[in-house]
Structure 1
Amino acid sequence: MTNIVVLGAGVIGLTTALELKIWNPKLDITIVGQFLPGDLDPTYTSPYAGANHHSFASEQDKVLQEIDKVAYKKFLQLAKNDPIRSGIWSIDNVSYFTDYEVTSKKGNFKKMIPWFRDFVEDFKILDKSEIPFNDISFGTKYKGVVISVPTYLNYLVQQNKEVGNKIFKIQPVKNIEKARSLHSSGKKADYVINATGLNATKIAGVEDKKLTFPVRGQVILVKNNAKVQLNVEGFPGSPNEMLYMMPRREGGTIIGGCFLPNDTNTKEDKEFTKRIIRRAIKYAPELIDPKFKKNPSELVIERVQVGFRPFREDEVRVEKDKKKPWLIHNYGAGGGGYQSSFGLGKQVVNILSNELRNSKL
């Protein structure tokens, strides 16, 4: 039997472990992490996500496109067949582009039409008559999904346990060699999957020529309900800000957001909170309309969350280590952890499949 240690228990680690076990039930997999679902820490990004499926891949990035395709179909399937346990539901994803944004792109609407237009279901360019805001010049819509992350992370934990994977909380690993000794059997692991996100290159023994860095995000969770997922781009004077809203299946809405590289401030930016509240009420007035799902007449904030997306320069790293044949890396997904999770997990499956096949030759 092949012993595997998955280092990191965020959405990437949990999904990768699950995909590995489904591919080969004979694998003996132990998941270990400094944080587990239920913990809240800004560096443990997974619990702070929105989360949805809205790929960040460019038209030219065919690799990331293929990675992101996998989860879209999987999430739609879970929304249809297991919505209560998974915390996933299907709801329209609407994107608006302000006059300012369209002008900054010199009226080139092609730059605002995503690569996945022919992949997702029910994609359409909105007619001007379908956009109820005078300052919005362009819009799109498609069948999207929203993931309630507390529910979904616990769902992944349960799925892993049901297939026989073991999960343990550990102290931070300071040297990657140490990870090999963390298998539940007490034996040295044959392979370690490095899915530690922001900490991936802080561990001694992990070498990477590319820079890994945090990108700060701040969101608010409100009790109010929105009609659709909504993304608005293009606010003058705020190049690193946008508006996004993700209404959760159980009620309430996540509202953000910002994109601040190398900003490690863990405290709430109260002025930013005020800005996203103003924007949310403007572009989704139903949030404070008691006639829509009995919403309160003002935004009721349950929690303000600050988290750090685990980015890597240029691209995600999913590959076998060049110097340590037992080490496989899977980190650097940035803000796309959920939408890339299944695709990245399958890439690790492919790497390990080749490894085990060659070892038997």
Structure 2
Amino acid sequence: MVKIVVVGAGVSGLTTALELSRRDSTYKITVVAKNLPGDISADYTSPFAGANWHSFADHDDKVMQVYDTYGYKRLMDLGENDPMSGIVLMDSYKYFTDYSVEKEDTEDPWFKKLTGLRPLSKKELPPGVSKGYKFKGLTITPTTYLHYLYLKCLSLGIVVKRVAAIEDISEALSLHSLGKADLVVNCTGLLAKHIKGYNDTKEQFGVRGQILHVRNNCSKQFSVSPHDKAQEDSHESLYIFPRKEGGCIIGGCFLRDYDHTKEDPELTQRLIKYAVKYAPELIDPSYKNNPDHIDIINVNVGQRPFRDGGVRVEIDSEHKWLIHNYGIGGSGYQSSYGLSARVCQLVRKSLKSNSKL
């Protein structure tokens, strides 16, 4: 029996716990967290996510490509075969405006073959868009999916415990349900930078996002690059992800070091303006009984857990009982299975190394 504590119950922590338990029945997993699915807190990122699959890895980032390929296949399988997951499969569109074509690299992304990506013809492009592509994608309702992961963990005998925020990572060793833990996996997201007991030479920081959760239905999932220099400088763009249960989310922004979580009302109005421009069916009552205005359920503001140099998924150099999995930024859902698979490899490596001591 190997006792493992996973710290954190966001998408990274729950997926890691689930995958470890599935890989080896001798692993006895306890998840400990300040926040659990159903909670709403500024430092609990996962419920606020847009949650789709559109890999951010560039053509040279082979490691993230491996993680995101594995994640794509696992999430697509869930969307096709498990309706309880809250995942719906749908084509995803990427639009480049006249302005962005001059400013951005519009080369087809690395996942062209994986997702069946194809360029859009001119007749498929909305006004003001010069170029675009579509691919087989998906979107996830985070609150449904987090509870889905939570229940899957419980069904496998994983213990989930609500605890106060830990101050030192070594505290986690004493939080296992069966006694002192053998290993700890650090999936603490935004809270990672506040925890003592280990070193990280890379800066960790939050990136603010603001999305509108609305009752209006949209005909497709898409994102649009900036329209002009003012929008580029403000780090805003438009994306719309329909939800399986109806309605959609409209985002968003990408603002580093903006820690406040209050709504920016002016951004809300700009998002509505651009959303209606590119998806006029949102306020067309003849399309799925939409209202004739944007009917907002919530304005969600959260912080994505970024880290300079990218995600940290490795065995700690000083504490061989500690494995890190934090700093994934805005890719938590799409990369979760790939990163969890890597954690499983590191757990085996750590146990093998410790057995020789």
TM-score of the aligned structures, taking structure 1 as reference length = 0.96
Letter in 2 for 1:57: A
Question: For residues 156-205 of structure 1, what are the alpha-carbon distances to aligned partners after superposition, in whole Å with 9 as ceiling and x for unaligned?
Answer: 001101111010111010011111111011x1110000000011121111
Question: For residues 13-37 of structure 1, what are the alpha-carbon distances to aligned partners after superposition, in whole Å with 9 as ceiling and x for unaligned?
Answer: 0000000000001111000100000
Structure 2: distance between partners of 1:15 and 1:357: 23
- Residue 150 in 1 paired to residue 143 in 2? yes
Equivalent residue for 1:128?
122
2:31/2:158 contact within 8 Å kept: yes
Match of 1:195 among 182, 187, 190: 187
State the Cα distance separating 1:103 from its structure 2 match: 1.4
Question: For residues 214-267 of structure 1, what are the alpha-carbon distances to aligned partners after superposition, in whole Å with 9 as ceiling and x for unaligned?
Answer: 000000000001111110002220221110011000001011010001111211
Letter in 1 for 2:92: N
Q: Which runs of 4+ in 1 moved over 4 A?
A: none
- Residue 353 in 1 paired to residue 351 in 2? no
Letter in 1 for 2:101: V
Task: Name the SS for the 2:42 alignment partner.
Answer: coil
1:1-361 aligned at under 5 Å gives the runs 1-83=1-83, 85-105=84-104, 109-110=106-107, 113-120=108-115, 122-133=116-127, 135-185=128-178, 187-236=179-228, 237-239=230-232, 240-361=235-356
- The 3 A distance-change label for structure 1 pair 99 and 341 is same
1:235/1:241 contact within 8 Å kept: no
Structure 2: distance between partners of 1:300 and 1:65: 37
State the Cα distance separating 1:358 from its structure 2 match: 3.4
Structure 2: distance between partners of 1:175 and 1:73: 36
Structure 2: distance between partners of 1:21 and 1:179: 18
Structure 1: distance between partners of 2:94 and 2:284: 22
Letter in 2 for 1:131: L
RMSD across aligned positions (CA): 1.0
Letter in 2 for 1:94: Y
State the Cα distance separating 1:314 from its structure 2 match: 1.5
Task: Name the SS for the 2:194 alignment partner.
Answer: coil
Structure 1: distance between partners of 2:58 and 2:159: 37
State the Cα distance separating 1:132 from its structure 2 match: 2.8
Q: Percent identity?
A: 48
1:215/1:263 contact within 8 Å kept: yes
Question: For residues 306-347 of structure 1, what are the alpha-carbon distances to aligned partners after superposition, in whole Å with 9 as ceiling and x for unaligned?
Answer: 000000002100000000110000000000000010000000
Question: For residues 59-115 of structure 1, what are the alpha-carbon distances to aligned partners after superposition, in whole Å with 9 as ceiling and x for unaligned?
Answer: 1111111111111111111111112x100010110110100001123xx532xx211
Question: For residues 255-292 of structure 1, what are the alpha-carbon distances to aligned partners after superposition, in whole Å with 9 as ceiling and x for unaligned?
Answer: 10100011112110000000000000000111111111
Structure 2: distance between partners of 1:7 and 1:285: 44
Structure 2: distance between partners of 1:109 and 1:353: 41
Structure 1: distance between partners of 2:156 and 2:38: 21
Structure 2: distance between partners of 1:254 and 1:62: 30
Structure 2: distance between partners of 1:339 and 1:66: 12
Task: Name the SS for the 2:58 alignment partner.
Answer: coil
Letter in 2 for 1:19: E
Structure 1: distance between partners of 2:355 and 2:199: 28
Task: Name the SS for the 1:209 alignment partner.
Answer: coil
Report which stretch shifted further, 22-31 or 233-242: 233-242
Count of residues paired in the alignment: 353
The unaligned stretches of length 5 or more in structure 2 are: none
The unaligned stretches of length 5 or more in structure 1 are: none
Letter in 2 for 1:86: S
Structure 2: distance between partners of 1:95 and 1:164: 41
1:200/1:206 contact within 8 Å kept: no
Structure 2: distance between partners of 1:296 and 1:63: 44
